[in-house]
Chain A
Amino acid sequence: MNTHVHDRRRFLALAAAAAAAPLLTACGAGFGGNDDKSDGSAADDVTGSFDWKREKGTTVKALLNKHPYTDALIADLKSFTERTGIEVEYDVFPEDNYFDKLTVDLSSGRASYDVFMLGAYMVWQYGPPGWLEDLGPWMRNSSATGAEWDQADFFPNLLQADQWSLKAGAPLGQGGQYALPWGWETNVVAYNTEVFGRLGLKPAESFDELTELAGTIKRKAPGAGFDGMYGIAVRGSRSWATIHPGFMTMYARNGLKDFTVDGGKLTPAMNSPEAVAFTEEWARMVKRGGPPSWTSYTWYQCSSDLGAKKAGMLFDADTAAYFQAVKGASPASGKIAFHPGPEGPDGSLATNMWIWSLGMNAKSKKKSASWLFLQWATGKEHLRKSAITHNHIDPVRKSVAEDAAYKDKMRHLPGFLETFETVVDQTKIQFTPQAQFFDATTSWAAALQEIYGGEGAKSVLDGLADDLAGKVG
């Protein structure tokens, strides 16, 4: 009996030790991923003359976000495979889940995807941990990059937006090239010409006028035959995405900053007296002329409200209006015009932008093939075809923007080309680059919701600034 007890204890002790072994191993092993990256770029391994067929027979895996730009890419993938002999396998996720999927995948340290879509803000999050391949060496290597790729053809502000030194507060356009611009969006005002005509309205040239205009449309449009129409569609959900389109554009046009940078130290500036006054005014505009249930509004709702004639104006990405404006896309198609939006007090048309970029996984085992894919996807031929035969508008390349066929295609949209040409040089990322971008802007959106709900702007923004001061460095 005693022996039995003894045996059981010994067995349990051995079993516990066996169970603990992997735990201890894992503890010792550290925190996921591996650290086997070398200092030299894999681009240095590519020598000889440039050859599209260099990686024939390889398969590249891509993670893509559901978007009309993606549809244009997928529609043209056959020509990439014909040119290179490289197959592309891809997964497409809706935007709500896309970045979570990408973040988890990259942070795991695996190379499930060789290439993926990302925004320039994501470079600030994915760059510092070393998840993104620096594409600079690939771009500079003439064996890896064909002459026709023509780096100088990109709008310089777009190429610079994906270039960063990985130091908080350091300006963009210096350091590694962590992604390539592929499609972008500038934030402007789109409006329903029918309601503007019937009410005798003109687009706003100042922020005060915009607030007034939004209120007027909400008051008068239903009586003029536009049942349930409100003034202006702007995003309001508790997300970073609420801050970056119309809000940040108007904020920047007022000469306001998110952070001030002094000797590499970031200080939140969204509670400066001018920023408080602007934020109060923005919330007032939404209350007077914004959408009902604004706190749940994403770009999908804003865009579809413009198309459904529920919104008189949209202050958001030009693409969000474009997808409603194309023939047959919505009840408002053919009645949507574009305008740069209100100027700042000093006439500024500083505009914030979003860039759909393409990046490469630093852990990819197929970097050479992945680079060929990135080169093709951001090349003149594919982008021209996508802009002309699909809905890949807002060209990242000057040659496409100036292409006669592209202009012919866009000319039927009143004000689109003029607006694009007016703001293109003043459009850049208006945020201060830093790794806590998503925390800062999500909290900023929550603060905006509280102010909209009636809380005092100063106390809410002071609280936000206090909270962020401890997080950004």
Chain B
Amino acid sequence: MGWRLTLRPYVLIVPALLLTCGILYPFGLGLYYTLFDFSASKPQPDMVGFENYRAVFTQKAFWNSAWVTVLYAVGAALTESVLGVAVALLLHRATLIGRILEKILILPLMIAPVIAAIIWKLMLQPSVGVVNYLLRPFGLGGVQWTDTPTGALLSSIAVDVWVYTPFVAILALAGLRSLPTSPFEAAAVDGAGWWYTFRRLTLPMLWPYVLVAVIFRFMDSLKVFDIIYALTEGGPGDSTVVLQIRAYLEAIRFQRYSFGISYTIVLWAVVYLAAMVLVKHLGKIQRKAAEVTT
């Protein structure tokens, strides 16, 4: 009987242990591969230590990709957060139209991002796309959306915003609906205006929810591949080659496996650090929100 009780906790952690191994095994193997000069032209490679990382960091293309990735992630996460909260505030009033809009709003989330990018690619096509067709009466019918570096980056961010703003809106809406009503009633009795109530009550209490959405979106945007690849393939030039696309090109297209994996490990480190900072910040925000509520 005694040994069964002793053993039970260990048996219970077996699934978690297997899952952990399932995660760590490919990750560890990937890390290990980065220490070699492993490519299609060198299937029996030499150990090169940290040479791949040195090569990554000394490559001009890496810094370009890192900059594009950060621009994309900040641009997309920021826009989605602002728009998502705004939409949530509008939908918070439980009217019939609001409930209908809620259902419609969720549609982009049901479309695979790569499909969304292809749909937008057709819509942004300068001569036959519907976007230029709609803009034509305003004298803007000839915009070549993805032909310039800035246009390509902004178009990619716009597609990301189209797909993921509903995600932020839904999280923010859930947050809004879970807020206590008494502080708002007290503010109304005191004659506080909408803006004052929003700034001093709604936003501080809603912050933890918004920050969760920001963390998810920022981390996901740092890892973006599908939307950009389907829309621009990384062009024009190298203007939208984010780190994931660079890693894919190196590892799969050009078959420099170790070098490509090194890119992904660097990206993992960046995402990990960003997540750590944001999660730490989330704790502080949650404490502040609790103070406002009480």
Question: Do A and B truly interact?
Answer: yes
- Nearest first, the 3 A-B pairs at minimum CB distance are A238-B235, A292-B126, A449-B236
A-contacting 9-mer, from B73-81, B103-111, B142-150, B167-175? B142-150
Taking the complex as formed, is B86 at the interface, i.e. its CB lies under 8 A from any CB of chain A? no
Say yes or no: B147 contacts A7, CB within 8 Å: no
Say yes or no: A31 contacts B40, CB within 8 Å: no
Knowing A31-B36, A238-B233, say if A438 contacts B6 (CB, 8 Å): no
Which residues of B200-232 have CB atoms within 8 Å of chain A's CB atoms?
A: 232
Q: Nearest B residue to A99 by beta-carbon distance? A: B253
Say yes or no: B252 contacts A238, CB within 8 Å: no
Say yes or no: B232 contacts A295, CB within 8 Å: yes
CB neighbours (8 Å) of A8 from chain B are 10
CB neighbours (8 Å) of B237 from chain A are 238, 446-447, 449-450, 453, 455
Knowing A238-B233, A310-B127, A435-B41, say if A453 contacts B254 (CB, 8 Å): no
A125 CB, nearest partner CB in chain B, Å: 7
Taking the complex as formed, is A237 at the interface, i.e. its CB lies under 8 A from any CB of chain B? yes
Say yes or no: A292 contacts B127, CB within 8 Å: yes
- Please report the C-alpha to C-alpha distance between residue A169 and residue B38 in the assembled complex, in whole angstroms: 22
> Which B residues are within 8 Å of any A CB, using their own CB?
6, 10, 17, 20-21, 24-25, 28-29, 32-33, 36, 38, 40-41, 43-45, 61, 121, 124-128, 142, 144-149, 152, 232-238, 249, 252-255, 257
CB neighbours (8 Å) of A239 from chain B are 233
B140 CB, nearest partner CB in chain A, Å: 14
Residue from B24, B36, B232, B236 within 8 A of A453 (CB atoms): B236
B-contacting 9-mer, from A21-29, A52-60, A173-181, A404-412? A21-29
- Please report the C-alpha to C-alpha distance between residue A435 and residue B28 in the assembled complex, in whole angstroms: 29
Q: Nearest B residue to A463 by beta-carbon distance? A: B60
Residue from B21, B149, B254 within 8 A of A439 (CB atoms): B254
Which residues of A427-463 have CB atoms within 8 Å of chain B's CB atoms?
A: 435-436, 438-439, 442, 445-447, 449-450, 452-453, 455
Say yes or no: B40 contacts A293, CB within 8 Å: no
CB neighbours (8 Å) of B124 from chain A are 293
Say yes or no: A237 contacts B235, CB within 8 Å: yes
Main secondary structure of the interface of B (DSSP, over half): loop
Say yes or no: B233 contacts A293, CB within 8 Å: no
CB neighbours (8 Å) of A22 from chain B are 25
Main secondary structure of the interface of A (DSSP, over half): helix
- Please report the C-alpha to C-alpha distance between residue A2 and residue B269 in the assembled complex, in whole angstroms: 38
- Please report the C-alpha to C-alpha distance between residue A230 and residue B142 in the assembled complex, in whole angstroms: 14
CB neighbours (8 Å) of B121 from chain A are 296
A309 CB, nearest partner CB in chain B, Å: 12
Residue from B6, B17, B40, B148 within 8 A of A129 (CB atoms): B40
- Please report the C-alpha to C-alpha distance between residue A128 and residue B42 in the assembled complex, in whole angstroms: 9
Besides the known contacts A239-B233, A293-B144, 16 further A-B residue pairs in the complex with CB atoms under 8 A apart: A4-B6, A19-B21, A19-B25, A23-B28, A107-B255, A125-B255, A129-B41, A292-B125, A292-B127, A292-B147, A293-B124, A293-B125, A295-B152, A296-B235, A442-B253, A455-B237
Q: Nearest B residue to A473 by beta-carbon distance? A: B41
- Please report the C-alpha to C-alpha distance between residue A439 and residue B246 in the assembled complex, in whole angstroms: 11
Q: Nearest A residue to B127 by beta-carbon distance? A: A292
CB neighbours (8 Å) of B254 from chain A are 436, 438-439
Knowing A31-B38, A292-B126, A442-B253, say if A23 contacts B29 (CB, 8 Å): yes
Say yes or no: B43 contacts A453, CB within 8 Å: no
> Which A residues are within 8 Å of any B CB, using their own CB?
4, 7-8, 11, 15, 19, 22-23, 26-27, 30-33, 35, 100, 103-104, 107, 125-126, 128-130, 228, 237-239, 291-296, 310, 435-436, 438-439, 442, 445-447, 449-450, 452-453, 455, 467
CB neighbours (8 Å) of B255 from chain A are 103, 107, 125
B202 CB, nearest partner CB in chain A, Å: 43
- Please report the C-alpha to C-alpha distance between residue A347 and residue B124 in the assembled complex, in whole angstroms: 41
CB neighbours (8 Å) of A130 from chain B are 43
Knowing A129-B40, A435-B40, A442-B249, say if A295 contacts B127 (CB, 8 Å): no
Say yes or no: B235 contacts A128, CB within 8 Å: no
B259 CB, nearest partner CB in chain A, Å: 11
Say yes or no: B40 contacts A125, CB within 8 Å: yes
CB neighbours (8 Å) of B40 from chain A are 107, 125-126, 128-129, 435
- Please report the C-alpha to C-alpha distance between residue A436 and residue B259 in the assembled complex, in whole angstroms: 14
Residue from B20, B145, B253 within 8 A of A438 (CB atoms): B253
Say yes or no: B43 contacts A452, CB within 8 Å: no
CB neighbours (8 Å) of A292 from chain B are 125-127, 142, 144, 147
Say yes or no: A19 contacts B17, CB within 8 Å: yes
CB neighbours (8 Å) of B127 from chain A are 228, 291-293, 310
Knowing A19-B17, A31-B36, A438-B254, say if A293 contacts B236 (CB, 8 Å): no
A11 CB, nearest partner CB in chain B, Å: 5
Say yes or no: A293 contacts B44, CB within 8 Å: no
- Please report the C-alpha to C-alpha distance between residue A100 and residue B6 in the assembled complex, in whole angstroms: 51
A265 CB, nearest partner CB in chain B, Å: 16
CB neighbours (8 Å) of A310 from chain B are 127
- Please report the C-alpha to C-alpha distance between residue A33 and residue B142 in the assembled complex, in whole angstroms: 52
Say yes or no: A450 contacts B236, CB within 8 Å: yes
Q: Nearest B residue to A296 by beta-carbon distance? A: B146
CB neighbours (8 Å) of A436 from chain B are 254
Say yes or no: B236 contacts A31, CB within 8 Å: no
Q: Nearest B residue to A11 by beta-carbon distance? A: B10
CB neighbours (8 Å) of B61 from chain A are 467
Say yes or no: A446 contacts B235, CB within 8 Å: yes
CB neighbours (8 Å) of B125 from chain A are 292-293, 296
Say yes or no: A294 contacts B6, CB within 8 Å: no
A110 CB, nearest partner CB in chain B, Å: 14
Residue from B25, B144, B146, B252 within 8 A of A23 (CB atoms): B25
CB neighbours (8 Å) of A294 from chain B are 147
Residue from A15, A19, A447, A450 within 8 A of B24 (CB atoms): A19
Knowing A31-B44, A125-B255, A129-B43, say if A293 contacts B147 (CB, 8 Å): yes
B8 CB, nearest partner CB in chain A, Å: 12
Knowing A19-B17, A128-B40, A292-B127, say if A453 contacts B146 (CB, 8 Å): no
B248 CB, nearest partner CB in chain A, Å: 9
* Most A-side CB within 10 Å, residue of B17, B29, B144, B254: B254
